[in-house]
């Protein structure tokens, strides 16, 4: 094992100026920078086609960039791929498990491929089956397992050699909400209990929000925003207020009242008025009193913390959901 490659910082993953254009002329990465702190869950968030899988393929030594640098635990990914491979695990977007074999057989085979003897292979396989709550089904064919169990097996397979960093490419895409939540628990435990740093990609805003300690939002192969989920949302300056009136007649008057009350970004939509306030909960009683005094009747008021969707909209000028539809259409 390499021992003379001490990382310069606490970053376990460091990426600088990564560029890649595929032979057909599609630019997948356009100067990407990333830094992932050890012992954290890091979310690479972006719509379809943003460059997430390309980034992971380069970091896992499966593909080369045209330009830029990438290192893992201080080891250069391009010049020392064999060293890098020993310290990472990778779960691709599509499962690599053999569904015609049992869970135990899959894991033992994976361990043998990694050079462990028969005894050690069984020992590691049993440990990981137990770790992911799969022991009871160990000797059943994987094709009889649920989607969530198969996904956990994929993670176990990627961890057979005991890597310090696990890459997960859209781990929960296509899973139903309960299974997704169950997988989030497994990922958290892996990171915070077992100490494995996790770099995952996702196109689910909610997933990045709930799971990642730090998020980088990418679009067209470059970073458009980064921070903790909280920081990204705080950057939106204020909560969104949605005020529904009893009729459209009062909308103009209501907008004037809200502007006078120092709310920002006051816009009308049907018989509703949307605006932003620094502290939504405090603004509500003030705004309601002012509207009442002006004779405006209010049906409903809701206050929302800004969402990552707002963040994406702010930085790209497009809604995340719209982007998805465009790309998949
Ligand atoms: P994501 O994982 O965020 O959906 P990808 O990294 O898969 O994005 O793709 C980024 C862009 O590169 C897309 O426009 C995609 O069509 C293109 N692309 C990905 N892989 C290839 C490839 N092997 N050959 C040509 N174009 C590719
Ligand atoms: Mg992808």
pLDDT digits (tens, 9 = 90+) for 95-107: 889 999 999 999 9
Nearest-CA residue for atom 23 of ligand 1: 22
Report the residue among 24, 43, 49, 63 best suited for mutation to probe ligand 1: largest number of ligand atoms under 8 A from its CB.
49
Q: Is the dihedral of CA 103, 109, 111, 117 positive or negative?
A: positive
Say what the pTM is: 0.83
Q: Given its phi and psi angles, is residue 36 left (phi above 0), alpha (psi -120 to 50 degrees) or beta? A: beta
pLDDT in tens, 75-133: 999 999 999 999 999 999 888 899 999 999 999 999 999 999 999 999 999 999 999 99
| 315 touches 222 (CB < 8 A) | no
Report the residue among 18, 21, 22 best suited for mutation to probe ligand 1: largest number of ligand atoms under 8 A from its CB.
22
pLDDT in tens, 154-196: 999 999 999 999 999 999 988 899 999 999 999 999 999 999 9
- Quickly state the pLDDT bin for 310 (edges 50, 70, 90): confident
Residues in contact with ligand 1 by the CB-under-6-Å rule are: 22, 24, 26, 28, 46, 48-54
Q: 94-98, 105-109, 299-303, 313-317 — which one is most confidently predicted on average?
A: 105-109
pLDDT > 90? residue 234 = no
| 120 touches 156 (CB < 8 A) | no
313 alpha carbon, distance to own chain's centre: 17
pLDDT in tens, 4-54: 444 445 899 999 999 999 999 999 999 999 999 999 999 999 999 999 999
Over range 197-213, report the average pLDDT.
Answer: 94
Q: Given its phi and psi angles, is residue 226 left (phi above 0), alpha (psi -120 to 50 degrees) or beta? A: beta
Element (H, E) at 25: none
Which residue did the predictor score with more confidence, 234 or 90? 90
């Amino acid at each position: 094992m390499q021992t003379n490659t001490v990382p310069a910082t606490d970053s376990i993953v460091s990426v600088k100026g990564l560029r890649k254009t595929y032979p057909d002329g599609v630019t997948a990465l356009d100067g990407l920078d990333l830094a992932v702190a050890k012992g954290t869950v890091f979310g690479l968030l972006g719509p379809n086609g943003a460059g997430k899988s390309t980034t992971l393929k380069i970091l896992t030594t499966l593909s080369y960039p045209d330009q830029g640098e990438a290192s893992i635990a201080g080891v250069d990914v391009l010049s020392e791929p064999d060293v890098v491979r020993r310290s990472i695990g990778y779960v691709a977007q599509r499962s690599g498990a053999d569904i015609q074999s049992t869970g135990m057989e899959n894991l033992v085979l994976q361990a043998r491929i990694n050079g462990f003897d028969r005894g050690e292979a069984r020992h590691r396989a049993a440990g990981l089956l137990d770790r992911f709550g799969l022991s009871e089904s160990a000797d059943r064919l994987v094709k009889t397992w649920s989607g969530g169990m198969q996904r956990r097996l994929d993670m176990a397979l990627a961890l057979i050699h005991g890597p310090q960093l696990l890459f997960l490419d859209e781990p929960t895409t296509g899973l139903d909400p309960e299974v997704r939540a169950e997988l989030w628990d497994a990922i958290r435990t892996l990171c915070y209990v077992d100490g494995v740093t996790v770099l995952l990609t996702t196109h689910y805003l909610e997933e990045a929000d709930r799971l990642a300690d730090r998020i980088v939002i990418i679009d067209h192969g470059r970073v458009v925003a980064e921070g903790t989920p909280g920081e990204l949302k705080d950057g939106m300056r204020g909560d969104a207020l949605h005020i529904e009136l009893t009729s459209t007649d009062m909308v103009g008057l209501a907008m004037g009242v809200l502007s006078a009350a120092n709310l920002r970004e006051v816009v009308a939509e049907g018989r509703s008025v949307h605006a932003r306030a620094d502290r939504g909960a405090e603004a509500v009683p003030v705004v309601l009193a002012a509207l009442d005094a002006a004779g405006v009747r209010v049906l409903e008021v809701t206050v929302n913390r800004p969402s990552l969707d707002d963040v994406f909209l702010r930085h790209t000028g497009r809604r995340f959901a719209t982007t998805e539809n465009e790309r998949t259409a």
